[in-house]
Amino acid sequence: MTLITAVLGDITQQHVDALVNAASREMRGGSGVDGAIHRVGGASILTQCISRFPHGLATGDAGWTTAGDLPAKWVIHTVGPNRHAGETDRSLLASCYRRSLEVADELGAATVAFAIIGAGAYGWDLDTAVTTAVQTLAASPTQVREVTLVTPHDDALRTIEAQLLRA
């Protein structure tokens, strides 16, 4: 069984096997979590994104690169659905978590840190984003021993902790 916990903090500072990046479809860096991971991790992450994913990734899919200068081994990049662009299918949001765990299993990652995918610039309301994250992570078969949900916001931490109590 996978232990799921929540922490208030910076995802780029998590000492885990893999960090999950809420990436853009193009896989070329961006703002928010994506921009922070690329800034802190360094140019090697972008170089690998370009070579490994020349056409980017589909919404709901995931792929990996090494972690560059981050305190992790790998970055798992996943593309969340953008509600502002009309991508309102919650199953695509759930797919981000399932596919990320599948990639983590392929890599042999035992510890994985996730941001709450879709709850920022992509417009998903926090309750839906957190509920989808916790329910999907709890129900998905995986060899990952520990998942940490990381947020820099107190209100999001309280929402995650409340959902974890219900799970």
CA distance 148 to 22: 15
Return the DSSP state at 12: G
Distances (CA, A) of 59 to 3, 11, 72, 146: 26, 21, 24, 25
User: Are the C-beta atoms of residues 114 and 101 closer than 8 Å to each other?
Assistant: no
User: Are the C-beta atoms of residues 37 and 74 closer than 8 Å to each other?
Assistant: no
Distances (CA, A) of 13 to 26, 53, 67, 158: 24, 25, 12, 20
Active site residue 105: no
Task: From the candidates 10, 34, 89, 105, give the one annotated as an active-site residue.
Answer: 34
Q: Which residues are catalytic?
A: 34
